[in-house]
Amino acid sequence: MSGAGDFTLVPFPRPNVPAQVGFDRVELTRILDLYGRMVAAGEWRDYAMDFTRDYAVFAAYRRTADVPQMRLEKRPALRNRQGMWALFGEHGQVLKRGHDLSGVLAPVERRLMKAVEN
């Protein structure tokens, strides 16, 4: 005879919800290309990536022990609102939000051009 406590609850798989958010190959290539050019210009020396269920982050550092000089977040849940991409500055301020990765990285590209000119 089975009692009330003799069952195991198994959640249904959720096919549309990824286990974690990540960067696809094109996005990662674009991000790492910019990172490489910033390293060559002497602006950045290290980076970190973090992947969670809700967002993916790429952070670039001037020195390893510092706070990130730039943090790029991808939040697919915001795709239909202000855009899934957000660029944060050194002090956590939002520098740019948008739907297009290239547009969101534009402030960093401008900074790179200024660093290369000097």
Residue 102: the pLDDT is 92
Residue 8: the pLDDT is 78
- Best CA proximity match to 29, nearest among 101, 99, 79: 101
* Average pLDDT for runs of 10 along the chain of length 118: 65 69 93 94 92 94 84 91 91 92 91 75
- Best CA proximity match to 69, nearest among 50, 95, 51: 95
Residue 4: the pLDDT is 59
Domain limits of the chain?
25-117
Cα–Cα–Cα angle for 36, 37, 40, nearest 5°?
90
